[in-house]
Amino acid sequence: MEDPVCPLDYRYGRDEMKMIFSERGRIRYQMKVEAVLAAAHASMGTISKKDAEEIARTASLDVVKLERIKEIEKETNHDLMALIKAMTEQCRGDAGKYVHLGATSNDIVDTAAALQIRDALDIIDDGVDELLYIFAKLAKREKCTLEIGRTHAQFAIPITFGFKIAGYIAEMLRHKERLLEISPRACAGKMAGAVGTGAALGKNFNTIQIMVMRDLCLTYEPAATQVVGRDRYTELICLLANIATSLERYCTEVRNLQRSEIGEVSEPFDIENQVGSTTLAQKRNPISSESVTGLARIVRGFVIPTFENQVLWHERDLSNSSAERFTIPHAFIILDEMLQRTGRIFSGLEIHTEKMQKNIESSRGLIMAEPVMMKLTEKGIGRQEAHEMVRVASMNAIERDIGLKEALLERNEIKKVMTEKELDSVMDPANYIGGAKEIVDKMVSAAEEVLGRKV
């Protein structure tokens, strides 16, 4: 056996997902479509029930050997024709005459792809559910854990770490909705012949198409060309890329918060055995989060060829086929890997609350400029005037390297309306997290409702 080249063969991806898009998996799905087509013909009286049952018997890699399919493909240079001939060879009696009756290649290929997509979407949906559970559990646990909110990579105002994760829950819930919505559009097959008119299937063409898709639990292309409309795949790959980008966002936050100068969280790390660097023995690099970041770039890279695959000449050409052999399987396998990795990162995430507190203290009160401004407006000072008073005090504090409270108390116009005790209360970070806790509770409850279980 030759050494594998693609990292999916030896480094990334789970067997459960790979099995769907493996060579054997693809052929099994195509065989299933051929068997269901034969059953539909039998229901319409086009062929006998006995012949349909015989075709169904041969729709198995235990009967039709993969090696034989490959032998025929070398002769025909057509992978589906090789499958059809191999099934025909194994049919007893006259049943072989009716394999693939009235169909064109993409009736089988696209319908089998719809089955693959449906099963793959189920795995992705399960992965999203598991990540939602992990996020909900983490958000609930860290609901009150104070942390500095940051905008433009600069200190802003206080939040809680649970509140940060609540935002991730909201985003993943939207992806859940998108997965539900896309299923009937992405999981569509066709049984309409060479240009979509169904001519070779005769007067019962539409009945046969509906029957086949009903038995396979798929929708169907109502006005096909030779292929299912590729706008369906464009929407699908864009959704997978969207989810991948969300995962990258979460893991990028881990990478940033694990920076030495921030140090508020850390990826799981096996202190006993794991090596961070071949030379820097002290290193604990966020390699899993970095891996998710890199994989997201690959998934997004499939978006452009998928859009290009949507434009085919006339009723169909073959320019999409080779590209789709890469884009669809790889996007699913990589996204599944990303979901698993992200789940492991956040389920074992180390939260350094003491460092979060130190970072809050390092701001020397500057992160509390906004609540001071809002308190001044309560005292009757105009909003713009209050903003300018606090801005001048803040710039003064930064320039002189003193705390904001000290700079504020030097200003008579502030001391006239606010006591030091009031200022201490206003500048307590714990008193200025708004509805953070309530938002966490709301998003955890929303996740629990969707998941059907408590965290």
* Count of the separate structural domains present in the chain: 3
Is residue 105 part of the annotated active site? The answer reads no
Beta-bridged to residue 188, according to DSSP, are: 219
pLDDT given at position 269 = 77
332 and 238, same structural domain? yes
pLDDT given at position 159 = 98
CATH at residue 34: 1.10.275.10
Q: What gap in Å lies between CA 207 and CA 347, rounded to an integer? A: 50
Q: Is residue 437 part of a domain?
A: no
318 and 226, same structural domain? yes
330 and 271, same structural domain? yes
408 and 353, same structural domain? no
Q: Is residue 422 part of a domain?
A: yes
Final residue of a structural domain among 312, 341, 358: 358
93 and 158, same structural domain? no
Final residue of a structural domain among 334, 358, 382: 358
CATH at residue 380: 1.10.40.30
Q: Is residue 217 part of a domain?
A: yes
Which of 41, 78, 100, 152 is an active site residue?
Answer: 152
Contact by Cβ (8 Å): 213, 219 = yes
Q: Counting Cβ atoms within 10 Å, is residue 193 exposed (0-12), middle (13-18) or buried (19+)?
A: buried
Which of 277, 322, 362, 425 is an active site residue?
Answer: 277
Q: Supply 420's token pair.
A: 């030091």
396 and 341, same structural domain? no
Name the residue among 125, 116, 177, 175 with its Cα closest to residue 327.
Answer: 116
254 and 122, same structural domain? yes
pTM higher than the cut 0.85: yes
Q: Is residue 50 part of a domain?
A: yes
CATH at residue 290: 1.20.200.10
Q: Is residue 444 part of a domain?
A: no
200 and 94, same structural domain? no
Contact by Cβ (8 Å): 306, 356 = no
Contact by Cβ (8 Å): 55, 118 = no
370 and 341, same structural domain? no
pLDDT given at position 277 = 67
pLDDT given at position 281 = 63
pLDDT given at position 276 = 73
Q: Counting Cβ atoms within 10 Å, is residue 6 exposed (0-12), middle (13-18) or buried (19+)?
A: exposed
Is residue 277 part of the annotated active site? The answer reads yes
For residue 183, the enclosing domain spans 105-358
Q: What is the tens place of the pLDDT at every residue in 272-286?
A: 677 776 676 677 889
Name the residue among 339, 295, 342, 301 with its Cα closest to residue 323.
Answer: 301
Long-range contacts made by residues 146-150, C-beta under 8 angstroms, separation at least 24? 146/356, 146/357, 146/360, 146/429, 146/430, 146/433, 147/264, 147/356, 147/359, 147/360, 148/356, 148/359, 148/360, 148/363, 148/367
334 and 371, same structural domain? no
208 and 64, same structural domain? no
Q: Is residue 436 part of a domain?
A: no
Q: Is residue 374 part of a domain?
A: yes
Which residues of the chain are modeled with pLDDT < 50? none
324 and 210, same structural domain? yes
pLDDT given at position 284 = 83
Q: Counting Cβ atoms within 10 Å, is residue 209 exposed (0-12), middle (13-18) or buried (19+)?
A: buried
Final residue of a structural domain among 329, 358, 387: 358
Long-range contacts made by residues 284-288, C-beta under 8 angstroms, separation at least 24? 284/258, 286/251, 286/254, 286/255, 286/258, 288/251, 288/341, 288/344, 288/345
Q: Is residue 453 part of a domain?
A: no
Q: How far apart are the first and last CA of the chain?
A: 47
Beta-bridged to residue 151, according to DSSP, are: 154
